[in-house]
Amino acid sequence: MALRKVIALCITIACLHDHVALCTEIYEDSNQPVELRVQDLLSRMTLDEKIGQMTQIERYVANFDVMKNFSIGSVLSSGGSTPNSSTTEAWQNMVDDLQAGALATRLGIPMLYGIDAIHGHNNVYGATIFPHNIGLGCTRDPDLVRRVGAATALELRATGIPYTFAPCIAVRTKSKGAPLAYGMFRKFWQGPL
């Protein structure tokens, strides 16, 4: 008698598991090909959701409700755009809260969070500040530049931020007639000014 109950329970669990697996949307099923998942997700999105996903907003205007109500796809912290406290924990909490808002949308699409870490994650208390790209370029040491990028990436990940707009590979090749303007120091330089 007990064996029959165990067998019946196993069959029921197996059937429920198959039923639950069938209820997973194609775009949520990591076993499906990427192209099929993308096509399925796009076919489910409203025009407003598509617009929201293509929109990047500044951190000053981002919060849980904005992320949820407008299906925002990306948030940027530009220079000086920090949480109330610039500690690692404050950054993690802020990014987690915004991500929770994005995941609370109808389709649960995660957001991308980025920061302008031009010469390190300098918006965080205690982070390493490196020379700008023009200074790194003067070293003519590609391995040093790679290590600076790796260190910046580690400090970003510690705060829950998955990508940065810099350091970047922007090589300025002509100086003739070009003013020494803002942003020029962000580029690597291959010769004298």
Which tokens go with 35?
Answer: 């192209």
Q: Measuring CA to CA, how many Å separate 118 from each of 55, 125, 158?
A: 22, 16, 17
pLDDT of residue 19: 47
pLDDT of residue 189: 60
Mean of pLDDT over the chain: 83
Question: What DSSP element (H or E) covers 155?
Answer: helix 142-158
pLDDT tens per residue, range 15-51: 555 544 455 899 999 999 999 999 999 999 999 999 9
Kindly give the parts of the chain with pLDDT less than 50. Answer: 19-21
pTM of the full predicted structure? 0.74
Q: Measuring CA to CA, how many Å separate 48 from each of 41, 52, 105?
A: 14, 6, 12
Cα(55)–Cα(96) distance, rounded to whole angstroms? 19
70 three-state secondary structure: helix
Residue with tokens 């500044």: 58
Provide the residue ranges of all domains of the chain, joining segments of one domain with +: 1-44, 47-114, 116-193
Cα(118)–Cα(91) distance, rounded to whole angstroms? 18
Backbone angles phi, psi at 77, to 5 degrees: -105, 110
Cα(189)–Cα(132) distance, rounded to whole angstroms? 11
pLDDT of residue 81: 82
Cα(66)–Cα(97) distance, rounded to whole angstroms? 11
74 three-state secondary structure: strand
pLDDT tens per residue, range 66-75: 999 999 999 9
